[in-house]
Chain A
Amino acid sequence: MLRSLLIANLFMAAAALLRAGTLQDFGTEFMVMAAFCEPILIASLAVLCLARRLLHSMGYATSLLAILVFEVVLALIAANLGTNLLPGRVGLSLVQVALLALFVTTCILAYFDLRARALSPAVAEARIQALQARIRPHFLYNSINAVLSLMRSEPRRAERALEDMADLFRVLMADNRTLAPIANEVELARQYLAIESLRLGDRLKVSWRIDGMPGDALVPPLVLQPLVENAVYHGIEPSPQGGEIAIDVGVSAGQLHMTLTNPLPGETRHTAGNKMALANIRERLQLHFDAEASMKSEVIDGTYRVTIRMPYLTAQA
């Protein structure tokens, strides 16, 4: 959606440049055109958004035709209104308006088609697979070591730890290309933390604030666990006293948000690994949600905080 707005506006700017002889005129031309074009754009986006399920059911070719016809009609209506409101301004005939609308709409649709081809299915899937969060080898060996130490003294705990590890690695090795419910992600993070707390004992404290979390919200798999792993690695392990990791998940204004905070003891080494994990998540968010998801990380008073926002989707929608 953001992209179609942007493209249409670029076209408008180009047209304004063509019509205006000088740079000064460009500004005014652009404003007039915007007054004309933006309502069309916004109206069409709104209608298309509402009608997207209908369009989906129509098949690709029919829906394309429907969109084209709709855009042309909309443009003609707006042109009519425009001539009435601003007499003498519009130098285009109705045929010209129709052709222009057809052209811009086709360009936008072609762009999305190209983009979809470039990103999916083969290319995007391969990339998502390549991007799948890789767990630190450090974690694997340390956990095996911790389990070994429990074997003799506490066989029950060792069993549970191995079960958690099996679940964790099942997910890591799985095909993680499609979105999955966030409840699974939270469970996975819990299992991961259970294994880590074996090693770290009281040093690792976790507080979950997920009362407002809709368990059915769909998220890219392995979006939470790598963040939690980072928090343990950078926030807990470097401190003899340890600290608390807080995980916050909720919905506001149709957006799902996840916030994770951890202390930042001493100087931060290993930043390269950290950036890699974050870049990996950022790229996967982009592949799934394009510009409608965001991730930011910040340091506030010795605390490190990562926030992710993405559209709130469920399997039914």
Chain B
Amino acid sequence: MSLAQGGVPRILIADDEAPARSRLRDLLDEVRETFPLAIVDEARTGKEVLAAVNKEKIDVVLLDIRMPEMDGMEAARHLAGMEQPPAIIFTTAFDGYAIKAFEVNAIDYLLKPIRAERLLAALNKARGGGNVTRQALAAAANQPRKHLSVHERGKIHLVPLADVLYLRAELKYVTVRTAEREYLVEESLTHLEEEFESLFVRIHRNCLVARAAITGFERNAEESESGWAVVIKSTGEKLPVSRRQHHVVKQFR
């Protein structure tokens, strides 16, 4: 957590249940006596968390895991991609799977009902740095994300995976192509391939195509080693299929 000059930690409360949020407020008010802080905002879904973070400076997110629309796990993964991510303190009532995954990946969490002392300890730890890493979060997640996040000028922009036509690796980045435009994300194509195995198919060393975006295959002897190219839905682009991935053509035809 990197604080603004001379400021106190700015906290965001994220939980879909109103009583849970008000309980956290009460506890934070108690903690405030020994640990100065500011409650900046509240969020009810993972998407609201990202919107709040885009709007104002947040140092700590108290993040419920089970939330509608976008759960805490996915929100945390998008936050972790930020240049200066807020510290994340997960909260959960009971979630056998998440707790086990957190233990394995050394991610801290608070169990509801939360005690003031525990909350204070977690806030102190967050102040000392030691943020959860993207890798740990990815390893602890039990399901793929529903969005990719693009980080531009400190803001998080979400691209729904359903909109993605293909992913292409370039040097340091991966280009995410939708019908409207292109985005750059700082992720590895191999990890993306693993996470979204059911949605994408590799047609080339540097390219994953959304299965739903394939409208057909064309013979293309000049540019493609395999002699085939994939035709992409709505943009009509033709992407070469490598010799090694030639079997994909057969699989779809």
From known contacts A138-B94, A141-B94, infer whether A146 and B68 are also in contact, taking CB-CB under 8 Å. Answer: no
Chain B residue numbers with a CB within 8 Å of A145 are 19-20, 23, 93, 112-114
Q: For residue B69, which residues in chain A have a CB less than 8 angstroms away from its CB?
A: 239-240
Cβ of A149 to closest chain B Cβ, rounded Å: 4
Contact A152–B20 (Cβ < 8 Å): no
Please report which residues of chain A, range 256-280, place their CB below 8 angstroms from some CB of chain B when the two chains form the complex. 265, 269
CB distance from A135 to the nearest CB of B (A): 11
CA–CA, A257 and B118, complex, Å: 49
Q: Give the chain A neighbours of B44 by CB distance below 8 A.
A: 240
Q: Give bound CA distance, A8 to B66, whole Å.
A: 55
Q: Which residues of B contact A200 (CB under 8 A)?
A: 17
> Does the CB pair B19–A149 fall under 8 Å?
yes
Which of chain B's residues have a CB closer than 8 A to the CB of A148? 23, 113
- State A265–B16 Cα separation when bound (angstroms): 16
Within 8 A of A (CB), among B43-101: 44-45, 66, 68-69, 93-95
In the complex, what residues of A have CB within 8 A of residue B112's CB?
A: 141-142, 145
B interface, over-half SS: loop
**When the two chains form their complex, are residues A152 and B113 in contact, meaning their CB atoms are under 8 A apart?**
no
Q: Is the CB of A237 within 8 A of B19?
A: no
Q: Are B68 and A149 in contact (CB under 8 A)?
A: no
- Say how far B91's CB is from chain A's closest CB, in angstroms: 9
Asked, given contacts A145-B19, A149-B26, whether A238 binds B93 with beta carbons under 8 Å apart, the answer is no
Contact partner of B93 (CB less than 8 A), chosen from A142, A150, A240, is A142
Q: Which residues of chain A are near B235, meaning CB under 8 Å? A: none
> How many A-B residue contacts, CB cutoff 8 Å?
59
Contact B113 A138 (CB under 8 A): no
The smallest beta-carbon distance between B137 and chain A, in angstroms, is 18
From B17, B20, B22, B94, residue with most partner A Cβ within 10 Å: B17
Closest to B47 in A: A240
Chain B residue at minimal CB-CB distance from A199: B17
**Complex Cα gap A140–B94 (Å):** 9
Query: How near does chain A come to B74, taking the closest CB pair, in angstroms?
Result: 13
Would you give the shortest CB distance from A232 to chain B, in whole angstroms? 12
The answer to whether A146 touches B94 (Cβ under 8 A) is: no
Shortest distance between the CB of B69 and any CB in chain A (Å):
5
| 0/1 interface trace, chain A 120-138, chain B, CB 8 Å (1 if under) | 0000000000000000111
Q: Chain A residues near B221: list those with CB within 8 A.
A: none
Known A-B contacts A138-B93, A240-B44; the reply to A146 vs B16 at CB < 8 A is no
8 A Cβ contacts from A185-220 to B: 198-201
B113 A141 Cβ-Cβ under 8 A: yes
A108 an interface residue at 8 Å Cβ cutoff?
no
Option from A136, A149, A238 in Cβ contact (under 8 Å) with B23: A149
A233 to chain B: closest residue by CB: B66
* Complex: A149 Cα to B20 Cα, angstroms: 7
Is B3 interfacial (CB-CB < 8 Å)?
A: no
Chain A nearest CB from B51 CB (Å) reads 13
Q: Is A153 an interface residue (CB 8 A)?
A: yes
- Which positions 1-39 of chain B face chain A at CB distance < 8 Å? 16-20, 22-23, 26
For the complex formed, measure the closest distance between the CB of A77 and the CB atoms of chain B, giving whole angstroms.
65
Q: Give every chain B residue within 8 A of A199 (Cβ-Cβ).
A: 17-20
**Which residues of chain B are within 8 angstroms of A149 by Cβ–Cβ distance?**
19-20, 22-23, 26
A240 touches B22 (CB 8 A): no
Task: Give the chain B neighbours of A237 by CB distance below 8 A.
Answer: 16, 66, 68
Known interface pairs A237-B66, A240-B44; A141-B93 also in contact (CB < 8 Å): yes
A136, B22: Cα distance in complex, Å: 23
Q: Nearest CB to that of B23 among chain A residues?
A: A149
* Smallest beta-carbon distance B79→chain A, Å: 19
Q: How far is the CA of A141 from the CA of B17 in the complex (A)?
A: 13
Question: With A and B bound together, what is the CA distance between A145 and B114 in angstroms?
Answer: 8
Q: Are A153 and B93 in contact (CB under 8 A)?
A: no
> Which partner residue on chain A sits nearest B112 by CB separation?
A145
Taken together as a complex, chains A and B put the C-alpha atoms of A238 and B20 apart, in Å, by 16
B26 neighbours in A (Cβ, 8 Å): 149, 152
A69 at the B interface (CB under 8 A): no
Say yes or no: A238-B19 contact (C-beta < 8 A), given A138-B94, A142-B112, A148-B113. Answer: no
Q: How far is the CA of A150 from the CA of B17 in the complex (A)?
A: 13
Q: Name the residue on A nearest B69 (C-beta).
A: A240
The smallest C-beta distance from A134 to any residue of chain B, in angstroms, reads 13
The answer to whether the Cβ of A109 comes within 8 Å of any Cβ in the partner chain is: no
Which residues of B are found within 8 Å of A150, using beta-carbon distances?
Answer: 19
B20/A144 in contact, CB under 8 A: no
CB nearest neighbor in B for A158:
B19
What residues on A are CB-neighbors of B20 within 8 Å? 142, 145-146, 149, 199
A/B interface sample: 25 pairs, CB < 8 A: A136-B94, A137-B94, A138-B94, A138-B95, A141-B112, A142-B94, A144-B113, A145-B112, A145-B113, A145-B114, A146-B17, A148-B113, A149-B19, A149-B23, A150-B19, A152-B26, A199-B18, A199-B20, A201-B17, A201-B18, A237-B16, A237-B68, A238-B68, A240-B45, A269-B143
The 5 closest A-B pairs by CB, nearest first: A149-B23, A149-B19, A141-B93, A146-B19, A142-B93
A positions within 8 Å CB-CB of B:
136-138, 140-142, 144-146, 148-150, 152-153, 198-201, 237-240, 265, 269
